[in-house]
Amino acid sequence: MQVSHAAGRTGFLDGLKALRATADGLDDDQLLATSRCRGWTVGDVLVHVHLGLQEMLLGVVSPTDRAPDTDATSYWSSPTGPQSAASPVGHVRFVRAMGAAYRSPTGIVAHLRPTADALAAAVGALPDGVVAIQGHTMRTGDFLATWALELAVHHLDLGAELTLPPPAPTALGLARATVEELAGGPLPWDDEATVLIATGRLVPDEEQAAQAGPLAARLPLLG
């Protein structure tokens, strides 16, 4: 799946703005609520997002003349992509330790803000082209679409116990398009349910599995 530079940029910037606005509205108690990510609080998810945005910046500042070798879909099955983490439990513990190091949970959000602002400005100025990231080369639209998916999924992760505004529709739409491409066909649920089921956050019940038909056997697609 190839995503245009404009669509990828819009999805990412909208997703980042929506996630940041949601995070800015959380107090210490809410940041300690359980998330959809096993072993993480809402604050821990934001620590993970912050680490990801810092890594993303490496791609933004790494344009290349090489041809792209990865797109918005194949990235997720790459040997060096996020699905290949050698020690998921180790990462869970690492993020928890980082989250616990802040004097208060709202410090996590305060630390995230300048990174989000700087990255939004950098992405706004990023020209259409190819960037190098994690040992691969990607068109900028595909690169930004992968991070739009990350933001949409982790935005949903914040709402396990809390009632929160939804992710940006443009980011959620890119997330849906990506998982349907990975699935090999359209999935029959609304955008939020599709993304939550496809990423293993929700287990489809019998009716939902029947609605998905043979594609149900391929779920979840991302962890």
211 in a domain, yes or no? no
Domain with residue 43: its CATH number is: 1.20.120.450
If one counts the domains in the chain, the total is 1
Q: pTM score, two decimals?
A: 0.93
221 in a domain, yes or no? no
Task: Please give the pLDDT value at position 221.
Answer: 87
157 in a domain, yes or no? yes
Mean pLDDT of 60-73: 96
200 in a domain, yes or no? no
82 in a domain, yes or no? yes
31 in a domain, yes or no? yes
Q: What is the pLDDT of residues 160-190, one digit of tens each?
A: 999 999 999 999 999 999 999 999 999 999 9
Residue 135 structural domain: 5-170
DSSP 223: -
90 in a domain, yes or no? yes
Contact 36, 200 (CB under 8 A): no
Mean pLDDT of 194-211: 93
Mean pLDDT of 63-87: 78
Contact 155, 169 (CB under 8 A): no
User: What span, in angstroms and rounded, lies between the C-alpha atoms of 220 and 205?
Assistant: 13
